[in-house]
Amino acid sequence: MEKDLLQSAQRAIRYWWISILVGIIAAALGVWCLFQPLITLFTLSTLFIGGFIVGGIFEITFAALNRENMRGWGWTLASGIISVLFGLLLLSKPITTFAVMLFFVGFWLLFQSLWSVGTAVELQMIKVKGWGWMLFFGVVGFIFSFILISNPAFAAGVIVYLMSFTLVCYGALRVYFGLRLRTLSKHLQ
């Protein structure tokens, strides 16, 4: 069992570079958002609305194609219809889109930050050096995500800057995590 776990970990660690790539993309996106605030807000709201509509269409299609093979396919159909209707509602009320988007982004960043704190604790438990930086970036991300969720009026005014900084922190976190995985990979070989 331990041998299987070790082999599984070695296979997963082999792809350490993916975390670095994700980090570079996130940090670059954060810098771009900082210098293009109006385009960022428009793009975010457009993608947000599009995500609901396109995702809903795919859910409806999936439910319809699998209605004879899947129990409870009606729930997937209902979810798809609700997603499309919600997307169309947001499309008709662009101001509402920003408020809803703030909460979704805030909760996504909150989840990612909690993930990084948990991962930092796991790295500390297996004695990986530098785990504190991952914990630091996770805590910073948590603080900014909490601001997004708890104070949408404030966040609406500075969403681009908060998002930019949080994406840069998340990017740094992922690069750092990838470098830690690379070090761990070398030790396991």
Give pairs for 93-101: CB < 8 Å, separation 24+: 94/45, 97/45, 97/48, 97/49, 98/41, 98/45, 98/156, 98/159, 99/152, 99/156, 100/48, 101/44, 101/45, 101/48
Cα 34 from Cα 29, distance rounded (Å) = 9
**Other beta carbons less than 10 A from residue 47's beta carbon:** 12
For residues 64 and 81, the answer to whether their CB atoms sit within 8 Å is no
Tens digit of pLDDT for each residue in 61-85? 998 998 888 777 888 899 889 989 9
Q: How confident is the model at residue 57 (pLDDT cuts 50, 70, 90)?
A: very high
Asked whether the whole model's pTM tops 0.75, one would answer no
Cα 7 from Cα 28, distance rounded (Å) = 34
Question: Residue 27 above 90 pLDDT?
Answer: yes
